[in-house]
Structure 1
Amino acid sequence: MLELVRTIDWSPLFISLKTGIVSTILAFLMGIGAARLIMKVNSTAKAVLDGILTLPLVLPPTVAGFFLLLIFSLRRPFGSFLYTNFDIKMVQTWPGCVIAAFVIAFPLMYRNARAAFEQVDINMIYAGRTLGLTESTIFWKVIVPIAGPGLASGTVLAFARSIGEYGATAMLAGNILGKTRTVSVAIASEVAAGNWDVAGLWVCVIVILSFFVVTLINYISGKGIKNMNRWM
C-alpha cells in the first residue's frame, strides 16, 4: 500500500479539488442570486423557474452532459462562437470539468438557499424596512446572516457533489490524465482496467475528504447557531 501511495499519480485529486472549489464558488453566488430572484416572483413564475433550476438535480448526469455537449461543442454555434471570438474551449478541457460540476451542484445550493431564506422571520425584514434600510442592505445584513446555517449546508453539499461528479464531467471534459481526469473518473477508469487496488485507494481518498468537509461545515454551522441563539 505504501509503495502504491508513493508511485500513484495524484493529479486527479488536485484536479478534483480545484474543480470543486471553483464550481462551489460559482454555485454559491449564483444559487443565492437565483434563490433571491425566486422569492420576488409570483407563484406561477416561481413554479416554472424553480422547475428549470432544479432540473439538473433529477436528470441523469449523462443527460446533463449531453446537453452541455450540444451547447459547447465546437460544431455548435455557441461553442464555435466562444472559441472563435474568445478562445474559450469547454470540451476536453479543465473549464469543462468546472462547468459540468457547477451544473450538477447548482441545484443543491439553490434549494438549500431558498429553503433557508423562506425560514427567515418576516418580522426581521419589516424591522429593517422600518429602520430605513434598503432592500439590498436588508438582504445582505439581515437575511443572509440569519440563513447562514442553511447556506453553509448548501455549500458543503455543492462541494461534495462537485468533487464526486462523474457522468457530465466524463461526457464534456473527457478522461485526460493530468488535465481532466478527476477522482471519480479515475475510479471508473481504474476499475475498467482491472486495477482494483488503485481504484480502492481513490475511493478511500474521496470518502475521507468528504467526511472531513462535512464534519468541518457541521462544526462551523453549529457554532453559528449557538452564536445566533446567544444574540437573540
Structure 2
Amino acid sequence: MNWDMYWAPIRLSLQVALVSSILAAAIGVAAAWWISRKSFRGKTIVETVFMLPLVLPPTVVGFLLLVVFGRKSWIGRMIEGIFNAPIIFSWWAAVVASIVVAFPLVYQTMKVGFASVDRDLEDAGRSIGAGEWQVFRYISFPLAFSSFVSAYILGFARSLGEFGATLMIAGNIPGKTQTVPTAIYVAVDAGNMTMAWAWTVSMIVISFLLLLITGRRTKG
C-alpha cells in the first residue's frame, strides 16, 4: 500500500476539520447565545434558516455555496481580488463547506446548553453591574462549558465526514482538496478496494472515538 497516498487525505481532512470546527464553534456559540437571549419578530424563521444545512441534501448546499462564492458572484470576485486567487476548488473551499454543515449541530447543542443555565444567576450578575459580555464570559459560558465541548466534538466529527458539499465547491484534487470521503469515493470507483477499506476503517475509528468522548462527557 502506498503510505504517502494513504496519509495525504487523512492529514488534509484533519486540518480542514480542525479549522472549520473552531470557526463553526465560534459562530455557533455566538448565534446560540444571541437566539437564546433575544426575542424578536421572525425569530422562528431565523432559527429555521440556521438548521437548514442539517436537512438539505449536501449537493444542494454545495451548489448554493458554488453560486455564492463562485467567480460570477460579487463575494467570489471580492475574495479573488483580496487574495489574488479564487476560493473555489481550494483548501479554504473545503473549510467553508465544512463550517456550513457543522454549524447546525454546534448551534443546536449550544442552544440547549445555554437554556440550561439558571437565568437568576445571570440576573444576579447584571444586578451588580456586569455587562452582557461579562455575564457571558464569567457566568453563562462556564456553566454551559460541558455543552460546548460536546458541540465542538460533534462539529469536528461532522466536518471530518463532509462529502457532498465539499466535492461541489472544493473538488477532488489529490494533495490539495482531496479529503478522506472523496478519496474513498474515487478509490471505490477505480476498484482500489484496499485503499478504500484502509480509509474507511480510519474514519470509523476516528468517528467512534469522538462519539465515545462525547457520550462520556454527556453522562458526566
- Tell me if TM exceeds 0.5: yes
- The alignment of Structure 1 onto Structure 2 pairs a total of residues equal to 220
Partners of 1:96 and 1:172 within 8 A in 2:
yes
1:195 partnered with 2:192: yes
Amino acid at match of 1:52: V
Counterpart in the other structure of 1:156: 153
1:10 partnered with 2:7: yes
* Separation of aligned partners in 2, 1:193 and 1:182: 16
Partners of 1:152 and 1:221 within 8 A in 2:
no
Give the C-alpha shift of residue 91 in structure 1: 1.0
Give the C-alpha shift of residue 43 in structure 1: 5.1
Greater alpha carbon shift after TM alignment, 44-53 vs 5-14:
5-14
* Separation of aligned partners in 2, 1:85 and 1:149: 38
Partners of 1:117 and 1:143 within 8 A in 2:
yes
Give the C-alpha shift of residue 153 in structure 1: 1.2
1:45 partnered with 2:42: yes
1:185 to 182, 186, 189: 182
1:28-177 superposed matches below 5 A? 28-42=25-39, 44-177=41-174
Give the C-alpha shift of residue 167 in structure 1: 0.2
Partners of 2:23 and 2:99 within 8 A in 1:
yes
Greater alpha carbon shift after TM alignment, 42-51 vs 19-28:
42-51
- TM-align CA RMSD: 1.7
Per-residue CA deviation, residues 159-188 of structure 1 (Å, 9 max, x unaligned), is: 000000000000000000000000011111
Partners of 2:79 and 2:87 within 8 A in 1:
no
Amino acid at match of 1:155: Y
Percent identity reads: 37
Compared with structure 1, are the counterparts of its residues 131 and 177 closer, same or farther at alpha carbon in structure 2 (3 Å cutoff)? same
Unaligned runs of 5+ in 2: none
SS at match of 1:9: helix
SS at match of 2:6: coil
* Separation of aligned partners in 2, 1:84 and 1:58: 33
Give the C-alpha shift of residue 127 in structure 1: 1.9
With structure 1 as the length reference, what TM-score do the two structures score? 0.88
* Separation of aligned partners in 1, 2:82 and 2:198: 42
Greater alpha carbon shift after TM alignment, 76-85 vs 54-63:
76-85
Unaligned runs of 5+ in 1: 226-232
* Separation of aligned partners in 2, 1:83 and 1:128: 46
Partners of 2:150 and 2:217 within 8 A in 1:
no
SS at match of 1:91: coil
Greater alpha carbon shift after TM alignment, 121-130 vs 97-106:
121-130
Greater alpha carbon shift after TM alignment, 104-113 vs 4-13:
4-13
Partners of 1:148 and 1:221 within 8 A in 2:
no
* Separation of aligned partners in 2, 1:108 and 1:213: 14
Per-residue CA deviation, residues 64-103 of structure 1 (Å, 9 max, x unaligned), is: 0000000111133321222124324221110001000011
* Separation of aligned partners in 2, 1:6 and 1:103: 31
* Separation of aligned partners in 1, 2:53 and 2:68: 15
Per-residue CA deviation, residues 136-175 of structure 1 (Å, 9 max, x unaligned), is: 1111111111111111111111000000000000000000
With structure 2 as the length reference, what TM-score do the two structures score? 0.93
